[in-house]
Amino acid sequence: MKVLFVYYVPSGGVETLNRQRCRALRLAGIEGHCLYYGWGAGIQNSVDFPVYISRNDIEIKHILDSNQYDAIVVTTDHASFARFSMLGFKGKFVLEIQGYGPKEVARAQLTAAMPYINQYASALLNPNTPHIAALFQELYPHKPQFNFNNCFDTTYFTYNSYIHPEYPVIAWLGRIEDNKNWREFLHIGHQLSQHVPNLRMWMFEDNHLSVPAEREQFQQLIAELGLQDRLTVRANVPNGEMPYYFSVIGDSGGFLCSTSKVEGAPYAVLEAMSCRCPVLTTDSDGVSTSVYHNATGKFYTLGNIQHAVQEGLELMHNAALREQIRAGAMQHVQQAFNPHVYAANFANMIHSV
Query: Are 181 and 98 in a shared domain?
Result: no
pLDDT tens string 121-157: 999 999 999 999 999 999 999 999 999 999 999 998 9
pLDDT tens string 73-126: 999 999 999 999 999 999 999 999 998 888 999 999 999 999 999 999 999 999
Q: How confident is the model at residue 18 (pLDDT cuts 50, 70, 90)?
A: very high
What residue numbers bound the domain in which 278 lies? 169-336
User: Can you give the pLDDT at residue 310?
Assistant: 98
Residue 210 clears pLDDT 80, i.e. is over it: no
Return the CATH number at 69: 3.40.50.2000
Query: Are 127 and 195 in a shared domain?
Result: no
Q: Is residue 160 part of a domain?
A: no
Query: Are 143 and 200 in a shared domain?
Result: no
User: Can you give the pLDDT at residue 207?
Assistant: 84
Measured CA to CA, the distance from residue 325 to residue 25 in angstroms comes to 30
Angle (nearest 5°) at CA 27 between 21 and 28: 95
Beta-carbon count within 10 A of 231 CB = 18
Q: Which amino acid is at 139?
A: L
Say what the pTM is: 0.92
User: Can you give the pLDDT at residue 338?
Assistant: 97
For the chain, the domain total comes to 2
User: Can you give the pLDDT at residue 284?
Assistant: 86
Residue 344 clears pLDDT 90, i.e. is over it: yes
Query: Are 217 and 140 in a shared domain?
Result: no
Give the pLDDT mean for 40-46: 86
Query: Are 111 and 259 in a shared domain?
Result: no
pLDDT tens string 243-273: 999 999 999 999 999 999 998 888 999 999 9
Query: Are 183 and 207 in a shared domain?
Result: yes
Query: Are 323 and 343 in a shared domain?
Result: no
